[in-house]
Amino acid sequence: MHNQRLSKLRALLVEHHMDALLVTSAVNRKYISGFTGSSGMLLITANKALLFSDFRYRTQAPVQAPSFEFIEHQANVVDAIRESAAALQLTKIAFEAHDMTFETYNTYVNQLQGIELKAAGKWIEQLRMVKDEDELFIMREAALLADQTFNHIAGIIKPGMRELDVALEIEFYMRHHGATSSSFETIVASGERSALPHGVASDRILQYGEYVKLDFGAFYHGYCSDITRTVMLGKPTDRHRDIYQIVLEAQLATLQGIRPGMSGREADAIARNIITKHGYGELFGHGTGHGLGMEIHESPRLSLTGDMILEPGMTVTVEPGIYIAGFGGVRIEDDIVITSSGVDILTHASKDFIVID
């Protein structure tokens, strides 16, 4: 698996006429090498793959990254990189500009005299967008755990609980059933707070006659899931029902309409046009979805500016919403993988308008 990823990355080196790529992003380092340590860098050439780390990982690194030569550095990793670059006679090294601070860049410029440093595009992130079967297997498991967590919390949530207590139960359940952690800070937003798109859990007490928006995900074997469901505590008004049905209509239509070859903007328009048709376009201010994988937000984006073309193997969320200040908000979100003919939905928790008395 990692050898295949190395081969694809080496093809990019040839395409961009570079001798090597310096990988500093922890997520990209893990994706390419398999190494999970807290510190380390990769230097990849056409025929060499070097992993630099310190004494702590002398045993772990060779086991996790057998395709890489482990080089143990002392106090300053740049010294080891300079020595290796000289031994390999490298003259042009690409680096992950989006991950490197200006201060660190200046250090490398000063220390790697005679070597041209060139900002690489997000080469590894581009590779990560299309998941292989091993990745999709894990993501299905992460999505299943999110489904099970929603089913669990829907059975115990009730008025009188604090939002924080609901979030704690969600996170405990996920961890107890195999998650390393949550994919992001769990969102539990009730009543007027449900109109906050990213209303993380607070001390607010759940009450009758209001929405509760639940947005969470399991970080499982290095991959994220991300699901949102909105439930109702007590008897809903007609307005509660109408808003929920509009969001559901938009979400289902998007799941039905997404196809490979479509741009992220075109996918976003499916949901946005429906919500706008019902008069709530200005209250849907975020994109319809985002890429998902080793990180909770990846490319591609389903948004007004989403120019990227969707391809089979890409995993994205579909999560339209309506947010009405002073009243509340609804979001419904699923994880999907783009297929050759449409999509495969990974999350399956009920999207019925659940009313909890």
Please report the pLDDT score of residue 357 as a whole number: 85
pLDDT at 95: 95
Give residues with Cβ within 8 angstroms of 29, minimum separation 6: 23, 35, 40, 41, 42
pLDDT of residue 2: 77
> Could you give the CA distance from residue 39 to residue 111 in angstroms, rounded to a whole number?
20
Closest CA to 338 of 122, 126, 130: 130
Instruction: Note the pLDDT tens digit of each residue in 121-137.
Output: 899 999 999 999 999 99
Whole-angstrom CA distances from 224 to 27, 40, 52, 79, 95 are 13, 23, 27, 36, 26
d(CA 80, CA 96): 18
| Identity of the residue numbered 222 | G
Alpha carbon distance, N-terminus to C-terminus of the chain: 50
Phi, psi of 30 (to 5 degrees): -65, -40
Give pLDDT, residue 75: 85
Count CA within 13 A, CB hemisphere, residue 80. 19
Query: Mean pLDDT, consecutive 10-residue segments, the chain of 357 residues?
Result: 89 95 97 96 96 96 96 92 95 95 93 93 96 97 98 97 98 98 98 96 97 98 98 97 98 98 98 98 97 98 97 98 98 98 97 95
If we measure between CA atoms, which residue out of 356, 123, 342 comes closest to residue 254? 342
Model pLDDT, residue 272: 98
